[in-house]
């Protein structure tokens, strides 16, 4: 089962918004939010809450791709998230997430008994390539007790 299939099966909001997993690797996750009238805002684009969910979901997908082999000893959890809306988004949008620290560095901290934190950067774009939003989600790997 792919990460996208796993998240669609276990996270109801992914199914609610019909998020599409276009690419999910430890280096990059790309998700799409189709243009759906029921999730539009007052200017006809995707609602801010839908774009936040898209970005957070992209960040979670890359975290699972990069650290899925650590799930037996740690739980990935978002700590904080910030989003900046740069331009009006209309139509379908995509979110591209990248890790802000090397995965090996994060795992080394976990190996030392720490609870590592690491940023994931997300760019949200329209079909024409314009960046409509930028998001940073700080994640942690909480060691299992």
User: pLDDT tens for residues 96-116?
Assistant: 999 999 999 999 999 999 999
Q: What is the mean pLDDT of the chain?
A: 96
pTM: 0.96
Backbone angles phi, psi at 39, to 5 degrees: -120, 20
What pLDDT shows up at residue 119?
A: 98
What sign does the dihedral 23-92-98-75 (CA atoms) show?
Answer: negative
Q: Which one has a higher pLDDT value, 145 or 120?
A: 120
What pLDDT shows up at residue 1?
A: 86
Strands (E), 7-130: 20-24, 29-33, 74-85, 93-99, 117-126
Coil, helix or strand at residue 144: coil
What is the rounded distance in angstroms from the CA atom of residue 127 to the CA atom of residue 92? 7
Domains of the chain: 3-143 (3.10.129.10)
Question: Mind listing the pLDDT tens digit for each residue in 45-99?
Answer: 999 999 999 999 999 999 999 999 999 999 999 999 999 999 999 999 999 999 9
């Amino acid at each position: 089962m792919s990460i996208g299939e796993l998240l669609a099966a276990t996270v109801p909001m992914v199914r609610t918004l019909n998020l599409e997993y276009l690419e999910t690797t430890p280096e990059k996750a790309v998700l799409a939010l189709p243009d759906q009238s029921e999730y539009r805002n007052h200017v006809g684009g995707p609602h801010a809450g839908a774009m936040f969910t898209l970005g957070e979901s992209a960040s979670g997908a890359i975290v699972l791709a990069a650290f899925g082999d650590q799930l037996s000893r740690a739980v990935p959890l978002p700590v904080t998230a910030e989003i900046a809306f740069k331009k009006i988004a209309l139509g379908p949008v995509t979110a591209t997430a990248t890790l802000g620290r090397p995965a090996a560095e994060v795992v080394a901290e976990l190996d030392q008994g720490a609870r590592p934190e690491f940023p994931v950067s997300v760019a949200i774009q329209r079909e024409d390539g314009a960046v409509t939003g930028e998001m940073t989600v700080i994640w942690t790997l909480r060691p299992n007790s």
